[in-house]
Structures are given as C-alpha cells and as structure tokens.
C-alpha cells in the first residue's frame, strides 16, 4: 500500500474513533444520582394553601417535573441546605428550570403561615412554592409520601424543633414518582437528573 493509502486509512480510523468517543457516552443509559422509582400508580394528589394564599394542587403541575420537599421555616440547617442546593440546580438548568416546580410542604403548620412561607421560599428562589394546611392534612399527605416528622424540644431561642425526613421526591411530567434524592445531594447531581427527565 502506498504512503497515501496508509494516510487515508489512518485518517478514517481516527475519524471513527472520534465518532465513537462522542457517541458512546450519549448512547449509554443515564445513571441516576437519586434512587430510581418504578411505581405504576400516579403520585397521590393533594390540595393545600400556597404562600400566595391560594389553593394549589399537585395535579396543577402535570406536564412539569415536580420536586416535593417537606420542611419548615424554623429549620436551622437541613432545610436551608436542601433548598440552597435545589436553587443552585435551577440555575444550572437555565431555561429548562421553567419545566421544574419545587413545592415545599410545611411540617410546622402551627408557625408557618402563608406570609412566613412567602418570605422563606423567596429567599432561595422566587419560583419555589411554599404550602401549608391543617395539621391533619399535612399528616395525611406526609404519610402517603412516606415522610416522618416529629416535634422535639428546642432552645429558648428556637422554640421547638421538628425532626423530619429530608429527602426530595421527584414526580415526573406524567404524575408518577420517579426519583428520591437523599439529603446532601449536590446541585450538580440534582440538575443532571432533572435535565434527563425534562429531555427524555
């Protein structure tokens, strides 16, 4: 084979290698950072009062990806950390963030009024929704989503505190529970999984 032929062959091999390098990661299945759920049933619908004072239902956001979080405004550490990472994930998503809705259901309806929730969620992202209701409503919804919470004694400064499950439940566009993010999931991981759900 002439030298020119060897050069052409080498160029073809290099080109195929570059195509394979580009395509293989894109053809591989997505590796989720959250725990993947395969429930055939739709997520339990509910209606609560939002921080705007208006009733809001989970089903209002059919067609969007919903991040459902149970927390409270007096939470000293876990809730601010989680909501900060969620807000950063929304920034990383850019325009795709419009396809995601975070809803924080208060596990402290005694203190979390719509007004206090409005101030709280806006601190992280103006698009976040804070939701509250009667203690009975909150308890029922939390049970349906496997969320534990319990009031405990705090300090004179904080008043009582609430121990609670700190996961984020992700509900896909069709209304099915798709992922569970554990506490401490970084924003980059949240954004990667959310981006996959939005685009597939």
pLDDT number for residue 24? 46
Token reading at 135:
């203690």
Q: How far is CA 96 from CA 12, 135, 181, in A?
A: 38, 34, 19
- What is the model's pLDDT at position 5? 53
* Per-residue pLDDT at 34: 87
Q: How far apart are CA 13 and CA 2, in angstroms?
A: 17
pTM: 0.84
| Residue 112: DSSP 8-state | -
- What is the pLDDT at residue 144? 96
Question: What does the pLDDT read at residue 80?
Answer: 98
Residues of the chain with pLDDT under 50: 1, 6, 8, 19-21, 23-25
Long-range contact pairs involving 140-145 (C-beta distance under 8 Å, separation at least 24): 141/44, 141/46, 141/48, 141/105, 142/70, 142/105, 142/107, 144/44, 144/46, 145/44, 145/68, 145/70, 145/169
Nearest to 69 by CA among 26, 122, 27, 107: 107
Q: Is 142 exposed, middle or buried (0-12, 13-18, 19+ CB in 10 A)?
A: middle
Q: How far apart are CA 113 and CA 194, in angstroms?
A: 30
DSSP string covering 114-132, please?
Answer: HHHHHHHHHHH-TT-EEEE
pLDDT for 12 equals 56
Give the pLDDT confidence score for residue 13 in this predicted structure. Answer: 56
Query: CA triplet 96, 67, 151: central angle to 5 degrees?
Result: 150
**Euclidean distance between the first and final Cα of the chain, in Å?**
47
């Amino acid at each position: 084979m002439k030298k020119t032929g060897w050069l052409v062959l080498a160029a073809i091999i290099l080109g195929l290698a570059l195509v394979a390098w580009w395509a293989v990661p894109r053809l591989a299945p997505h590796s989720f950072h959250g725990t993947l759920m395969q429930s055939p049933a739709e997520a339990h619908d509910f209606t609560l009062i939002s921080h705007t004072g208006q009733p809001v239902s989970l089903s209002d956001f059919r067609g969007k990806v919903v991040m459902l979080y149970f927390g409270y405004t007096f939470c000293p550490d876990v809730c601010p950390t989680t909501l900060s990472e969620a807000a950063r994930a929304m920034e990383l998503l850019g325009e795709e963030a419009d396809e995601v809705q975070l809803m924080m259901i208060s596990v402290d309806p005694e203190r979390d009024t719509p007004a206090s929730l409005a101030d709280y969620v806006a601190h992280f992202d103006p698009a976040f929704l804070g939701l509250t209701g009667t203690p009975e409503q909150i308890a029922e919804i939390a049970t349906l989503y496997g969320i534990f919470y319990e009031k405990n004694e705090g300090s004179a400064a904080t008043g009582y505190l609430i121990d609670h499950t700190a996961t984020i439940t992700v509900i896909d566009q069709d209304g099915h529970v798709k992922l569970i993010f554990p506490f401490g999931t970084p924003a980059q991981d949240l954004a990667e999984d959310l981006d996959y759900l939005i685009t597939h």
